[in-house]
Amino acid sequence: DTGVSQDPRHKITKRGQNVTFRCDPISEHNRLYWYRQTLGQGPEFLTYFQNEAQLEKSRLLSDRFSAERPKGSFSTLEIQRTEQGDSAMYLCASSLGNAGELFFGEGSRLTVL
Amino acid sequence: AQSVTQLDSQVPVFEEAPVELRCNYSSSVSVYLFWYVQYPNQGLQLLLKYLSGSTLVKGINGFEAEFNKSQTSFHWRKPSVHISDTAEYFCAVSDRGDSWGKFQFGAGTQVVVTP
């Protein structure tokens, strides 16, 4: 399968723990996006990359959230000191350039106890 | 700032009946408009996009959406639904230019098709 893959698909953690999600985009796609989706809501934009450059991070929800794409391929989204309000689906998408269709992964569901 | 309003949170519909999903947006600049579908435990899939040109955009399975600039709407329609169309549908808007991919999504409309 050559689509966008995300790992893990599900993560259950205790409040205060750190979690990291990984996204592998479609191989030739240079743009990568992170979204968050809470129950009953549409996805909410968090941040995006063009190659390894993070073009915007002002929408990251707090300084506990950070994302990297060190070599312009896969990306990680880390949440430090998780809170119950962080429970959500974290979606990754990729596109070819700034006009290509966004392809979404199946998401990583986080449950914070 | 942009906002997207999907006027119906859930739409029950009988198989082979028509359905329309309503989407209104607000933006101070010209925008691109999209409809996505999400099946349970799956990622979002693009159904339609309006970038420019004809205001009536047609999809591959008989559905279409119409952009109305004066009413700032992008309603989605399908003349005859199938059980397999049961899913959540999202309308999204994006500024033109380098903001490609920074979508503002609506809250979604759950379509439930029954026999």
Of A35, A98, A103, the CB nearest to B100: A98
Burial of B10 (0-12, 13-18, 19+ CB in 10 A): exposed
A40 torsion bin: left (phi>0), alpha (psi -120 to 50), beta (else): left
User: B38 pLDDT exceeds 70?
Assistant: yes
Percent of chain B with pLDDT over 70: 97
pLDDT of B97 over the 80 cut: no
User: Rounded distance, CA A78 to CA A89, Å?
Assistant: 14
- Rg over alpha carbons for chain B, rounded to the nearest Å, is 14
Residue B84 has pLDDT above 70, yes or no: yes
Tens digit of pLDDT for each residue in A89-110?
Answer: 999 999 998 778 889 999 999 9
Residue A39 has pLDDT above 80, yes or no: yes
Tens digit of each residue's pLDDT (9 = 90 or more) over B8-34: 999 999 999 999 999 999 987 788 899
Note the pLDDT of residue A1.
Answer: 55
Q: Which of B51 and A90 is assigned the larger pLDDT?
A: A90
In sign, the C-alpha dihedral spanning B78, B37, B31, A24 is negative
Looking at residue A11, its pLDDT comes to: 97
Phi then psi dihedrals of residue B83, to 5 deg: -55, -40
Instruction: Say if the Cβ atoms of A98 and B106 lie within 8 Å.
Output: no
CB A35 within 8 A of CB A91: yes
Most B CBs within 10 Å, among A104, A106, A108, A109, to test the B interface:
A104
Average of pLDDT values for A12-30?
A: 96
The shortest C-alpha distance from B80 to chain A (Å) reads: 25
B9: tokens are 């949170």
Q: What's the pLDDT score for residue B8?
A: 94
Does residue A57 have a pLDDT over 90? no
Say whether residue B105 is in contact with chain A using an 8 A CB cutoff. yes
- Chain B nearest-CA residue for A107: B43
Distance CA B59, CA A112 (A): 39
Mean pLDDT of all residues in chain A? Answer: 93
Q: Write the pLDDT tens digit of every residue in A59-82.
A: 888 899 999 999 889 999 999 999
Token reading at B93: 């808007």
C-alpha to C-alpha distance for A32 and A24, rounded to whole angstroms: 9
* pLDDT of B73 strictly over 60: yes
- Between CA A71 and CA B64 the distance in angstroms is 40
**Taking Cα atoms as reference points, which of A111, A6, A52, A43 lies closest to residue B37?**
A43
Q: What percent of chain A has pLDDT over 90?
A: 80
CB contact under 8 A, B43 and A44: no
Q: Residue B35 — very low, low, confident or very high, per pLDDT cuts 50/70/90?
A: very high
Write down the pLDDT at residue A98.
77
